[in-house]
Structure 1
């Protein structure tokens, strides 16, 4: 055999020895990892499993298909195949970021669901520690609260996944009984009315709406409570109020009296717009489900609520305190709407009287004719106004949010109408009156949407032509999606 033949023979032997396919998932292999030809994904999985000393259990017959094109792979069978492919646990370097290592969990994946308020929960949990202090075992007969996410049938092949965070929290409560009540009450509070959530990701679970509907008895009470809080904030921010008035028993009412009203200065409005946005944000954060929404859905809700609150709040205040001569803003300032008075429309250093009149007077007149006058015809009660504010936001954002959030908002809308109907019944209204008032509110929605679009257009013109300097955050919130 000559030199060239010898080199070709060695080269062919090398190519035959080198596996170009991962022996675990059949993906293209980029070399040997832990003494076996594998892809980087399987190598990373094997490294995590060994360094974290994880143990998985297959819910089938330990014969699940392992292939890189699958979205969900059984971890127990994948680890088993890693070992069969020749991966060596001893080739994995130990973790350097911890001396003791983390606790891992080995548990029966088929969990029973009970209500989180079940008594003696602590006594039902049995924990054991093995010699290396690396596992927490949960008795397979233990019933755990329903705060754990429901599992989909479509993900059954991934049933070997360990819920380490949830079980560690359960173990911590067993070790520290004094923390149990607070920990479970906080977790339960994050899933109001029995809805399921993925607590770690702070995102609505796909199974959030399989449980009982939102309670209509409490939703109006919550809206009224938040309106009272918003009025208290306005009293502190925008007018002089006595401590007795501020600290007295709270009832639904207006934040101002006639003596608190003062002529409008557009410069003050621009400086105080952030506090108005903050009040809107606090209202949204009080909603039980807001913290679980995807970030894009939160943005849409904040944009819409800031827009409609700054239309509806002045409209309602004007209905009760200013009509027909004054248009009252949410900060207690007003402009004159009569031809005989120029109050609030004077020249200012940052904006001329002509610019004010050109931009804002047509918008205010439209609010009066399309929103304020229908409110007066209905003799809108403040409870109805609270429902209207929520309803106009829920109905407008459903076109722009995720399917899960849309389902939630539709349930909220149903609960709003049911709660409003209960309020009407308590007021002693007959069926015809209830139908007329509900119909009036629904018809009012289209007017509010129309005025909202004009408001957005006007503020885009102000920014584009640089007519006067608006708050940058307000401009971002009022941009067309």
Structure 2
């Protein structure tokens, strides 16, 4: 599975790149407040560039302007390390402490960034020595000139943590630069959080199959047979999803054509996955229980089709890829259920092919899942619920926009990609409505007993 971020150099030795493989200073304009030392560092970097060598920051991989605290470091990492040491700051990683640090998103995890600084050889004693020199210099200036302009013991150089290849030099004041930079880091942190959440949910499997039967003791409920209790209502099913399906491994391999039991088992397993996805999401937890049920009833349909389309695009099957190693074919001669609306064929055309052609990565897929859940401001929600849904949707949309823009530097191309991703959301919703005819036919012919818990989903999702 694709990693969210690429690894940054971890060695404390000088890293040199050939000029042909590294963008020149004009393409990566660092933004900082100059001083005598700052101009000297820039001059040294310019001299090094003129000699055919470009120094690289050993912490994040950005362009370095010489040695800082014992290693080659960019102004952003230099300032970050200095502030952290001066203020004796302690950071906490929200994940497993192994976040990759790269220049495009070095502000996402401060804990791992500081750890990378130490591992790369930055010397905290040099920071303390610099502070003492700065304090003495300020005191001398005050005594000599008899003025108090320099009461704050700050060093001459004031650096700002910036993404040098995504912030333009016209961006405004240093304070605005820092605020924008903090917002960028927050958006990327949201993207990373949702991505990791998606991985955890997809990998969640019951420790033992016997443990799944603690709530309901009955026949094997994940085999696709008649063991699922049909009298379970939606609310009980959503808050106790193992009533519907135990957490079997997600295996979207599409190795064989699905039969009737496979269709039922996939529907039930994906519902459990959906319940886990929602309940583990911070923004969903801010809704009251009643609002959670309203959202869940309405959003499972598009969430389900997005999952199936993503799996189908990944393995390249001609149909709807299921979570249990089977697939529902677009070829009507192979279908175990009548697809009168050509939903399988439509899904391949409107979702699977675009996902494959766009090469949508795992982060984008996870963020789209979040947007789908909060896509609609439903009328049945409370006023507080509507506000929470609006806020969550805006957060995920902004995070998706920022993530795409960090990957695609051309603003026009980035906007086009974001527009295409938005169209895919509409395609998933259209598939939900098209499924209505298939569901009604199955009811008339008594082909499938979906269960009481599924009735509310169909009422809310499969009708106009």
TM bucket by the smaller chain? 0.3 to 0.5
Considering Cα pairs closer than 8 Å and 6+ residues apart, tell me whether 1 or 2 has the greater RCO.
Answer: 2
TM-score, scaled to structure 2: 0.46
